[in-house]
Amino acid sequence: MTEIQSLEKRFQDRIDAEERIEPRDWMPEKYRKTLIRQISQHAHSEVVGMLPEGNWITRAPNLRRKLGLIAKVQDEAGHGLYLYSACETLGISRDEVLDQLHTGKAKYSSIFNYPTLTWADIGAIGWLVDGAAILNQVPLCRCSYGPYARAMVRVCKEESFHQRQGYEIMLTLANGTPEQKEMAQDAINRWWWPSLMMFGPNDSESTHSAQSMAWRIKRFSNDELRQRMVDMIKPQTDILGLTLPDPEIKWNEERGAHDFGEIDWDEFWSVVKGDGPCNKERLAARVKAHEEGQWVRDAALAYAEKQEVRKASDGKTKVA
């Protein structure tokens, strides 16, 4: 066995024993790269995800809803920060990670490339999109990489309010006027399939899955999690008195799970590749925010440096 092989074996043994890997431990280069890609994409998704919801803050129907939405969007900013920090422990700088987003090299979740057309979309996002995110994120709390797992524990604690506020919005609309109910149904119709797409390609098409499972970065396959999503959301939709836009959805007694229709994979890949309804707009908004914030970052730094100099010279006069 070469030295690298024996290191790799020891690494895998630790993983198999459910030990956590910490930043300064030896790890295979591919493990590091895989995590940098996944954690940074995850962070970008939290940050870009603020855009479609931020769109409705000023138009929330009342103060209660507005407070909830602001708090949720602020949480998403926090999630992005926890994750960027976790990503940096792998030896990549914040600048580099942001650069990858701004130049379009890094991806973020495609769901945020869909527009928020009505207030009901805010309900649908909290309920469906955060619901899907929770299903993805809960197993990540046991991810083999310590800093990622710890960030996920914080994130998951905060997510359940997101989903509940979304569902409450849907419930209110569903029990409102016929127009409001119709608006809620329309939001479900537009968000349901993209939400299912959040779990990624079918297992048979998923390229990184096997290795990520072996490394315990991932605990469940895309299709397993998607099935959980359908089983979780269907009864919740029934309580709303609304329907999912899938005529094939029905309980399968034998499997103890819902059958459901096929995702439009052409749409999935076209949004991933950049041709979704809002890809350009989202990226442009991020770049603009970053560039227009440059003077704030510069000013804060100049101030800090000035304070530092002042402190140093105060020290000198005291000594003299």
> Are the C-beta atoms of residues 46 and 80 closer than 8 Å to each other?
yes
Least distance from C-beta 46 to Fe ion, angstroms? 5
Least distance from C-beta 209 to Fe ion, angstroms? 23
Of the candidate residues 130, 167, 170, 276, the single one contacting Fe ion (CB under 5 A): 130
Of the candidate residues 79, 258, 282, 286, the single one contacting Fe ion (CB under 5 A): 79
Structure tokens at 240: 């709303």
**Selected range binding Fe ion among 54-62, 74-82, 109-117, 141-149, rule: CB under 5 A:** 74-82
Any alpha helices (H) in the chain, and if so which ranges?
3-16, 29-48, 50-54, 63-88, 94-102, 120-124, 130-137, 146-174, 178-197, 209-214, 222-240, 265-270, 279-292, 294-319
> Are the C-beta atoms of residues 252 and 242 closer than 8 Å to each other?
no
> Does the footprint of Fe ion cover residue 44 (CB under 5 A)?
no
Cβ closest to other proteins, residue 288 vs residue 297:
297
Least distance from C-beta 282 to Fe ion, angstroms? 16
| Partner whose footprint covers residue 162, from other proteins, Fe ion, none (CB < 5 to 8 Å by kind) | Fe ion
> Does the footprint of Fe ion cover residue 190 (CB under 5 A)?
no
> Does the footprint of Fe ion cover residue 246 (CB under 5 A)?
no
Cβ closest to Fe ion, residue 27 vs residue 155:
155
Cα gap 208→204, rounded to integer Å: 11
Structure tokens at 50: 């603020």
> Which residues are at the interface with other proteins (CB under 8 A)?
22, 24-26, 71, 74-75, 78, 81-82, 85-86, 88, 93-95, 98, 150-151, 154, 158, 297, 300-301, 303-304, 307-308
Read off the DSSP letter of residue 20. P
In the chain, count of helices (H) and strands (E)?
14, 2
Least distance from C-beta 300 to other proteins, angstroms? 4
Element (H or E) spanning 210, and its range? helix 209-214
Structure tokens at 316: 């000198």
> Does the footprint of Fe ion cover residue 42 (CB under 5 A)?
no
- Vertex 162: Cα angle to 157 and 166 (nearest 5): 155
Least distance from C-beta 172 to Fe ion, angstroms? 19
The residue ranges that bind Fe ion (CB under 5 A) are 46, 76, 79, 130, 159, 162
